[in-house]
Structure 1
Amino acid sequence: MKRLHRKERVAAILKILSDNPNKVISLGYFSDLFQSARSTLSEDIAIIKGVVESLECGVVETIPGAAGGVKYVSGVSKNEETEFINELCNMIKNPTRIIPGGFLYMNDIIYSPDIASKIGIIFSQHFKDKNPDYVITVETKGIPIALMTAKALNVPLIIVRRNSKVTEGSTVSINYVSGSSKRIQTMSLSKRSVEKGSRCIFIDDFMKAGGTANGIIELMREFDSSVVGIGILIESFTESKRLVDDYVSLMKLKSVNEESGEIVLYPSKQI
């Protein structure tokens, strides 16, 4: 690589860091890549830190020691997070989204790369201190936001299935009780998916009474692992006690009126 001027080098370092969120990259790597002294690179990183902090788009952390380096942690400002969730609420409250049965059409939102990416960054910001080894979700609608959360945290995504697949080899299956319908359902996961003693973050698109989340907690116990955080895009209003207590939701759905077209939805108090 040709020798770069400082402004070019700073831009390149920032690009590499932002493409690899939550990954520690050694100064030695940058030194070899740009043929620059570590003292010079330290000055470059100080500039990048200042830019990222002023834009409130995350943080750049330096890790001392022989195994240290620098990493970029994705994030958004509190104001940006609030504005984004309010915009999502306004989009979802459109009466044309109501489909028979009082359900809401959400595919265009959940499967939008821009929206799912921002949701993933928000969840990662809430759970980064949990030091998770995996992000886990249940097929199918929660997959996009769980994948983006995993990307922001730089950890693997695990997808729990309702029915085991032959392509996954030996699986662990459990029966759990749905919190809303009280029906017995099944979920399964390949034995190769999770290392023993792992810490997991569960991400899903919707929560009623918390039966699925509680089932995930029970499933992880079969792997001698734990669920250290739960992130929900939308939780429904309920007067009964949920099966899980400790979770983060972005929005709360109170009611859907098919006749009037009214959707009562608002940002969660946690946001």
Structure 2
Amino acid sequence: MEKVKRNERIGALIKILTEAPNRIFTLSYFSEMFGAAKSTISEDIDIVRDIFKKYGLGEMETVTGAAGGVKYLPVPARDKALAFTNEMALRLCAPDRILPGGYLYMGDVLSTPGHIERMGEILAAQFYRNSPDFVLTCETMGVPVAMMCARVLNVPMIIARRNRGAGVAEGSVITINYVSASSKRLQTMTLPKRLVGSGQRALIIDDFMKGGGTAKGMIDMMKEFAVTVVGVGVVMATALPQHKLVDNYKSLLVLDEIDEARSLVKVSPAAWLTNF
């Protein structure tokens, strides 16, 4: 095998690791790929680690044990995370985004790959240590961010269906009723039985939280499957009502005020981001 130069190995390492976040790669894997000693690969990984740290590109984590190795965690630097959420907050303050009922149009933001990738990275970084087995969301607007979180965490994404029965390819389902905290309307949520196993750990991700009814519905759904919910993350939550049906959630943005009559919108980054 032709000898691979160090700069080539470094480039390949960065490409492989960043394309598979939270996946463990053994030194043997890279040693066989590049035809180099494990000690040489270890030195290469140290160089990559330093590059990521210097430029705020994420973290390299060493995993010990028989099946150990290294994995890449795309944890954004605090200043970059705050700058991004400030940019999003400013964009979402446009008066023409106001929708009836005190909601805000976010469709363009939640359909732009670059935006949802950054949102997914920031939210997922809060739950790495919680070790979720899958990401759960409820259709439809929360799906893109939930998918990006699942990619970053290297776990499956599961979608709970709202107000309709199972599709022909989904098999038997569990259906629950829940009350929307904002509209006070009774709604239904369904999830195929085959998607979730008893004893697993779920991370709930959604796009918007007003009273917390949908998130509470997903938490109740997980109880039916005997699944532990290890966290709740949303793109945006309203400042009011202050007491929601869900505690200990993480939101990237806070809708502080929305006034249709005055065409006023106030959106700000969540307070916890200043200490991220």
* TM interval, short-chain normalised: over 0.9
1:208 aligns with 2:210: yes
1:38-97 deviation per Cα after TM superposition (whole angstroms, max 9, x unaligned): 111011001011111111221111223321111101111111111100000011011222
Instruction: Please name the residue that 2:74 is paired with.
Output: 74
Instruction: Please name the residue that 1:88 is paired with.
Output: 88
1:122 aligns with 2:122: yes
Report the more deviating stretch, 45-54 or 231-240.
Answer: 231-240
Instruction: Please name the residue that 1:243 is paired with.
Output: 245
2:17 partner SS: helix
TM-score, scaled relative to structure 2? 0.94
1:166 partner SS: coil
The answer to whether the 8 Å contact 2:142/2:206 transfers is yes
Opposite residue 199 of structure 1, the aligned amino acid is R
Structure 1 position 182, deviation (Å): 1.9
* Structure 2 counterparts to residues 131-146 of structure 1, below 5 A: 131-146=131-146
1:86-125 deviation per Cα after TM superposition (whole angstroms, max 9, x unaligned): 0000110112223455432211100100000000000111
2:262 partner SS: coil
Cα 1:210–1:100 change in 2 (3 A) is closer
Structure 1 position 24, deviation (Å): 0.2
Opposite residue 213 of structure 1, the aligned amino acid is A
> Any gaps of 5 or more consecutive residues in structure 2?
none
Among candidates 263, 269, 272, match of residue 270 of structure 1? 272
Q: What is the CA–CA distance in structure 2 between the aligned matches of 1:62 and 1:257, rounded to whole Å?
A: 50
Instruction: Please name the residue that 2:152 is paired with.
Output: 152
1:28 aligns with 2:28: yes
Opposite residue 146 of structure 1, the aligned amino acid is A
Q: What is the CA–CA distance in structure 1 between the aligned matches of 2:149 and 2:54, rounded to whole Å?
A: 24
Structure 1 position 240, deviation (Å): 5.5
> Any gaps of 5 or more consecutive residues in structure 1?
none
Structure 1 position 214, deviation (Å): 0.8
Percent identity between matched residues is: 44
Q: What is the CA–CA distance in structure 2 between the aligned matches of 1:166 and 1:118, rounded to whole Å?
A: 35
1:209-241 deviation per Cα after TM superposition (whole angstroms, max 9, x unaligned): 111111111100111101110001111122462
**RMSD over aligned Cα atoms:** 1.4
Opposite residue 131 of structure 2, the aligned amino acid is N
